[in-house]
Amino acid sequence: MRKLKAEVIHNLIAVHPTSTEVDFIVWLSRYQNDAGVVRGIYYRSVCRELQISPQSFYNVIRSLASKNIIEVSKDDSYSGDWDISIKNNDYSHDELRVGKSADNYLDMGKDVFYNREFFKMKANEKLMTMLYIIISGAGSPNYHIGTQNFFDKYTALFGVKKRALQNYLKGIRKFFSIGIRDRQYWIRPLCATVDKENDKTDKSERAKQVAESVCRRFRLEDSGRTVAVIRKLLEQYTYKASEVRIDLEAVIMESIRDLLGRKNYSKNPCRWKMRKINEKFLHMIFRQHLPHFI
């Protein structure tokens, strides 16, 4: 569910995040469920993907939590794992359908949010990019505003001087056509860099994160093959589960816990010595834990 509500973007702008903090929200948006939650976040995975140090990871989640952008919890039974939710980004009771106005959310599946050039920009340049994509999706893609109104509005919004704002406009030209006509700024997204959807899908992104998290949490053997097995199973049932609001992550967790308990003749994880997953056996148990109507 790669979406961010406009409210989240405005909340970020208001708290003046660092560039790395914006990157982390973008990363979270790739793997969140409909409630805006990402379970089983492992710090090393984040550090590898965002190319930051472990200390930076802890600084970022501590800072964003203090700014009321995210909510963080940790289950001590899973070493190194964090459950993090993006606040005010719950879509579990919303309906997002084709043809509905897009002014209330930002599609994070666009290729721009996987582009290295985006991650090289300053924090406010990233936020300005996100803001103008929302505006262009809500109505006419050609956003225009009087030059003086532009500087009055956005210097106040971002808390910067006019010169800084002019530099931001230079920075976002990678993704927007920007010009002045009739004493107005005209800003239009470049279709080739902004409108294009990334080749990764919501389903595959989320299934990948969940599968890796589950393998780590249960210390499953042959993790490479097992990740593929779990990912395939999740992708197979994602669409049906989303139609009836079933949390597949909870189902797969319970299914693997049940499978390992049966295989080791004990419900106590401390006694589990065999942690290899059989694909057919897992599928059978997974079906048993799904509601009968799926």
* Domain of residue 101, CATH code: 1.10.10.10
Side chain identity at 176, as an amino acid letter?
F
Q: Is 83 exposed, middle or buried (0-12, 13-18, 19+ CB in 10 A)?
A: middle
- The pLDDT, as a whole number, for residue 269 is 87
Say what percent of the chain tops pLDDT 70: 91
What six digits make up the tokens of 203?
Answer: 């389903």
Question: By residue range, what is the domain housing residue 83?
Answer: 3-108
In a domain, 294, yes or no: no
CA-to-CA distance for 37 and 72, rounded, in angstroms?
Answer: 10
Long-range contacts, 230-233 (Cβ 8 Å, 24+)? 230/256, 230/277, 230/282, 231/204, 231/207, 233/282, 233/283, 233/286
213 and 270 share one domain: yes
Supply the DSSP symbol for 170.
Answer: H
CA-to-CA distance for 231 and 1, rounded, in angstroms?
Answer: 16
8 and 102 share one domain: yes
Confidence of residue 100 (pLDDT cuts 50, 70, 90): very low
Q: What is the pLDDT of residues 214-261, one digit of tens each?
A: 998 898 988 789 999 999 998 888 877 777 778 888 899 999 999 999
136 and 224 share one domain: no
Tokens 């389903």 correspond to what residue? Answer: 203
Q: Single out the residue in 83, 108, 133 at which a domain terminates.
A: 108
Query: Of residues 157 and 205, which shows the higher confidence score?
Result: 157
In a domain, 60, yes or no: yes
- The pLDDT, as a whole number, for residue 98 is 40
3-class SS of residue 213: helix
Average pLDDT over residues 27-50: 90
Contact 212, 266 (CB under 8 A): no
What six digits make up the tokens of 220?
Answer: 């499953």
Q: pTM for this structure?
A: 0.86
Please say if the pLDDT value at position 139 is more than 60.
no
Q: Single out the residue in 195, 218, 253 at which a domain terminates.
A: 195
Tally of structural domains, the chain = 3
118 and 101 share one domain: no
CA-to-CA distance for 218 and 59, rounded, in angstroms?
Answer: 27
